Amino acid sequence: MENVSFKLNGKPINLTVDCERMLLWVLRTDLGLTGTKYGCGAGLCGACTVVVDNKAIRSCRFPVKGVEGKEVLTIEGLVKNGKLHPIQQAFAKHDALQCGFCTPGMILNAYSLLLRNSEPTKAEIVQGMEDNLCRCGAHTRIIEAIQSAAKEMKGVG
Amino acid sequence: MKEDQYLELDFTDIITDPQLSRRELVKLLGSGIIILFFFGDRSLLEARRRGRGYPDDFNAYLRIGEDGRVTCFTGKIEMGQGVVTSLAQMLADEIDVALESVDMVMGDTTLCPWDMGTFGSMTTRFFGPALRAAAAEARAVLLELAAEHLKTPKDRLQAKEGIIFDKTEEKSRVTYAQLAKGKKITRRVKAKSTLKTPSEFNIIGKPVLRRDALEKVTGKAEFAGDVKLPGMLYAGILRPPAHGAKLKSVDTSAVEKMVDVRLVRDGDMIAVLSKTPDEAKNALTKIKAEFDVPQATVDDKSIFEHLVKSAPRSNVVDRGGNIETGEKLADITIAETYLNSYVAHAAIETHTALAKVEDDKVTVWASTQGPFRVKDQVAGALELSSENVRVITPFVGGGFGGKTSAPQAVEAARLAKAVGKPVQVAWSRSEEFFYDTFRPAAVVKIKSGITKTGEIVLWDYGVYFAGSRGSQHFYNIPHHRTATLGEWMGGSSGAHPFGTGAWRAPANNTNTFARESQIDIMASRAKIDPVEFRLKNLTDKRMRRVLETAAKKFGWSPSKSPSGRGFGVACGIDSGTYVAHIAEVEVDKKTGHVQVKRVVCTQDMGLVINPQGAKIQMEGCITMGLGYALTEEIHFNGGKIFDKQFSTYQIPRFSWVPKIETVLVKADDISAQGGGEPAIICMGGVIANAIYDATGARLLQLPMIPERLKEAMTKRNQYSILMT
Q: Which residue on chain A is closest to B429 by alpha carbon?
A: A40
Are both B504 and B400 inside the same structural domain? no
Strand order in the sheet with B169-175: B157-160, B163-166, B169-175
Q: Given the DSSP bridges, would you call strands B640-641 and B636-637 parallel, antiparallel or unpaired?
A: antiparallel
* CA pair distance A34, A76, nearest whole angstrom: 9
Q: Which residue on chain B is closest to A48 by alpha carbon?
A: B348
Residue pair B681/B606 in contact (Cβ under 8 Å)? The answer is no
Of the pLDDT bands very low, low, confident and very high (cuts 50, 70, 90), residue B88 is very high
Point out the least confidently predicted range of B19-28, B87-96, B164-173, B571-580: B19-28
Point out the least confidently predicted range of B8-17, B65-74, B445-454, B647-656: B8-17
Cβ contact (<8 Å) for B652 and A137? yes
> Quick check: B24 pLDDT over 90?
no
Q: Which residues of chain A have a CB within 8 Å of the CB of B258?
A: none
Point out the least confidently predicted range of B6-20, B185-199, B441-455, B489-503: B6-20
Bridge partner list, A4: A15
Q: Which helix (H) or strand (E) holds B48?
A: helix B41-49
Amino acid letter at B497? Answer: P
* CA pair distance B276, B429, nearest whole angstrom: 17
Segment B123-150 mean pLDDT: 87
Nearest to A41 among B213, B215, B428 (CB): B428
Are both B252 and B274 inside the same structural domain? yes
Q: Which domain holds residue B45?
A: 2-213
Are both B554 and B498 inside the same structural domain? yes
Amino acid letter at B569? Answer: V
> Quick check: B31 pLDDT over 60?
yes
Nearest to A79 among B218, B623, B657 (CB): B218
Residue B16 lies in a domain: yes
Q: What is the domain partition of chain A in residue ranges?
A: 2-77, 86-156
Could you tell me the CATH number of the domain that includes residue B502? 3.30.365.10
Are both B53 and B89 inside the same structural domain? yes
* CA pair distance B203, B89, nearest whole angstrom: 6
Are both B358 and B500 inside the same structural domain? no
Same CATH topology for A2-77 and A86-156?
A: no
Of the pLDDT bands very low, low, confident and very high (cuts 50, 70, 90), residue B723 is low
Nearest to B612 among A39, A75, A95 (CB): A95
Reported as a single tens digit per residue, the pLDDT across B568-593 is 999 999 999 999 999 999 999 999 99
> Quick check: B546 pLDDT over 50?
yes
| Residue-level pLDDT at B2 | 32
Q: Which residue on chain B is closest to A130 by alpha carbon?
A: B654
| Residue-level pLDDT at B326 | 98
Are both B514 and B619 inside the same structural domain? yes
Q: Which residue on chain A is closest to B275 by alpha carbon?
A: A29
Are both B332 and B366 inside the same structural domain? no
Cβ contact (<8 Å) for A99 and B398? yes
| Residue-level pLDDT at B541 | 97
Are both B239 and B372 inside the same structural domain? yes
Question: Domain total for chain B?
Answer: 3
* CA pair distance B704, B701, nearest whole angstrom: 7
Total Cβ atoms within 10 A of residue B176: 30
| Residue-level pLDDT at B33 | 86
Closest Cα to residue B438, out of B338, B378, B366, B509? B509
| DSSP 3-state of B702 | strand
Percent of chain B with pLDDT strictly greater than 90: 79
What is the DSSP-derived secondary structure letter of residue A20? T
> Quick check: B41 pLDDT over 50?
no
Are both B407 and B466 inside the same structural domain? no
- Domain A86-156 carries which CATH code? 1.10.150.120
> Quick check: B6 pLDDT over 70?
no
Amino acid letter at B680? Answer: I
* CA pair distance B373, B337, nearest whole angstrom: 38
Q: Which residues of chain A have a CB within 8 Å of the CB of B653?
A: 130-131, 133, 139
Of the pLDDT bands very low, low, confident and very high (cuts 50, 70, 90), residue B187 is confident
Residue B186 lies in a domain: yes
> Quick check: A60 pLDDT over 60?
yes
Averaged pLDDT of chain B: 91
Q: Closest approach of chain A CAs to the CA of B652, in angstroms? A: 8
Q: Closest approach of chain B CAs to the CA of A99, in angstroms? A: 3
Architecture of domain A2-77: Roll (3.10)
Query: H helices within B287-434, ranges in order?
Result: 303-310, 323-329, 371-382, 407-419, 429-434
Residue B365 lies in a domain: yes
* CA pair distance B266, B251, nearest whole angstrom: 16
Q: What phi, psi does B711 have (nearest 5°)?
A: -60, -45
Are both B72 and B110 inside the same structural domain? yes
Are both B335 and B362 inside the same structural domain? no
Residue B299 lies in a domain: no
CB-based contact (8 Å) between A117 and chain B? no
Helices (H) and strands (E) in chain B, counts: 19, 29
Higher pLDDT, A80 or B39: A80
| Residue-level pLDDT at B124 | 79
Cβ contact (<8 Å) for A45 and B80? no
Residue ranges with strand state E in B256-388:
261-266, 269-274, 288-292, 315-320, 332-340, 352-358, 361-366
Q: Given the DSSP bridges, would you call strands B184-188 and B32-37 parallel, antiparallel or unpaired?
A: parallel
Of the pLDDT bands very low, low, confident and very high (cuts 50, 70, 90), residue B614 is very high
Reported as a single tens digit per residue, the pLDDT across B321-354 is 999 999 999 999 999 999 999 999 999 999 999 9
> Quick check: A88 pLDDT over 70?
yes
C-alpha to C-alpha distances, B692 to B515, B552, B684, B718, nearest whole angstrom: 15, 21, 12, 16
> Quick check: B212 pLDDT over 50?
yes
Contacts 24+ apart (CB under 8 A), B588-591: B589/B695, B589/B713, B591/B706
Are both B332 and B355 inside the same structural domain? no
Q: What is the maximum alpha-carbon separation in chain A?
A: 46
Residue B101 lies in a domain: yes
> Quick check: B396 pLDDT over 50?
yes
Q: Which residue on chain B is closest to A139 by alpha carbon?
A: B654
Burial degree of B214 (CB within 10 A; 0-12, 13-18, 19+) = middle
> Quick check: A66 pLDDT over 80?
yes
Query: ipTM of this predicted complex?
Result: 0.98
| DSSP 3-state of B301 | coil
| DSSP 3-state of B618 | helix
Mutate to test the interface with A, among B348, B430, B601, B626 (most CBs of A within 10 A): B348
> Quick check: B16 pLDDT over 60?
no
Nearest to A133 among B218, B348, B620 (CB): B348
* CA pair distance B681, B140, nearest whole angstrom: 41
Segment A118-128 mean pLDDT: 98
Q: In angstroms, what is the C-alpha Rg of chain A? A: 15
Higher pLDDT, B112 or B445: B445
Cβ contact (<8 Å) for A100 and B612? no
Residue B291, C-beta contacts closer than 8 angstroms, at least 6 positions apart: B240, B241, B242, B245, B246, B247, B248
Mutate to test the interface with B, among A33, A64, A95, A108 (most CBs of B within 10 A): A95
* CA pair distance B563, B584, nearest whole angstrom: 12
> Quick check: B14 pLDDT over 70?
no
Amino acid letter at A72? Answer: V
Positive/negative CA dihedral, B693, B696, B697, B699: positive
> Quick check: B50 pLDDT over 80?
no
Positive/negative CA dihedral, B18, B24, B26, B30: negative
* CA pair distance B24, B160, nearest whole angstrom: 33
Segment B440-459 mean pLDDT: 98
Residue B714 lies in a domain: yes
Reported as a single tens digit per residue, the pLDDT across B51-76 is 444 555 566 778 899 999 999 988 88
The last residue of one of the domains, among B213, B237, B257, is: B213
Q: Which residue on chain B is closest to A24 by alpha carbon?
A: B278
